Amino acid sequence: MKSCGRGRRTRSGAFTVLILPFVLIAGCAESGGSSGEGGASAGGETSASPAVSAPSASDARAAARLDRLSLAEGDLKGFTVRKLKAVEALTQHDVRTAEEDCAPLSQAKFGVAMGDPVATAQRRVSSEIDDEVIDAAGSAEELEAAFVITSTMVTLASYDSPDQARAVLKVLRSALASCEGGFSSFGVDKVSTDTAPEMGDEAVAFTVTPGQDDAQVGPTKTVVFRHGSILAQFGSEEPGATAPTDDFDFPIALIEAQEAKLD
């Protein structure tokens, strides 16, 4: 039986540690019932899984277009870009909150597309360690900071129209106003609205800060901007920091590179 308690990330310097919360959340979602759809019934019979309809041709074209518009390796100097592993790809069901109004914040934090998009594309973008910064470090603190990376989940979601994308962003703004005190589902103590960068047609920025019991887990800085009928979401963390702080610099260059590909 899987335990669905909240996982705590360690700060041992292993940069892949960021994947852990996604594994735990996905694992809890999978273990929700012993005889759910597609599972064995009480009588030992196996129930049939519901048919999954194939995506329409237009949806497939939208997905292929988003994949082309997404950041790729080599697009941004000093960063590595990769497609998500299956264990990292979460759904809205995986990141539900006890406070329904706060769900969009949880979705944006974990890189889950909000609303009802027709297609999505996701990337994991991580800053690279700079040898020049390491060589220039004049203290133990500076040397330690040189090894801290920024890891960002980038999600592109396309909608039927600019109006629909605009409406989704409006719901996110409403969640920011309602959930400043945090939300209990993921131990979030505070949500603060930040100054959004001037990107796309409109943008929203905020920081999600965990509670004191998760002192080893740093905040997530999130930016969402709209470009026509596309929403670009960026959730950035510092998984390698031994002393998490909300003062880290959001990788603006990453957002600029993504916006340039959408133009």
**Could you read off the pLDDT of 43-54 as tens digits, one per residue?**
333 334 444 455
CATH number, span 55-262:
3.40.1000
Rounded to 5°, angle at Cα 68 from 168 and 81: 90
- Comparing CA positions, the residue from 220, 222, 221, 223 lying closest to residue 203 is 223
Amino acid identity at 156: L
Note the pLDDT tens digit of each residue in 58-77: 888 999 999 999 999 999 99
Q: What is the largest CA-CA distance in the chain?
A: 69
Left, alpha or beta for 30 (phi > 0: left; psi -120 to 50: alpha)?
A: alpha
Is the pTM of the predicted complex or chain greater than 0.85?
A: no
Q: How confident is the model at residue 218 (pLDDT cuts 50, 70, 90)?
A: confident
Q: What's the whole-number mean pLDDT along residues 20-35? A: 40
pLDDT of 229 strictly over 60:
yes
Q: How confident is the model at residue 203 (pLDDT cuts 50, 70, 90)?
A: very high
Please give the mean pLDDT across all residues of the chain.
77
Note the pLDDT tens digit of each residue in 146-173: 667 789 999 999 999 999 999 999 999 9
The tokens for 226 are 């709209």
pLDDT of 17 strictly over 50:
no
The confidence score (pLDDT) of residue 144 equals: 65
The confidence score (pLDDT) of residue 37 equals: 37
Q: How confident is the model at residue 240 (pLDDT cuts 50, 70, 90)?
A: low
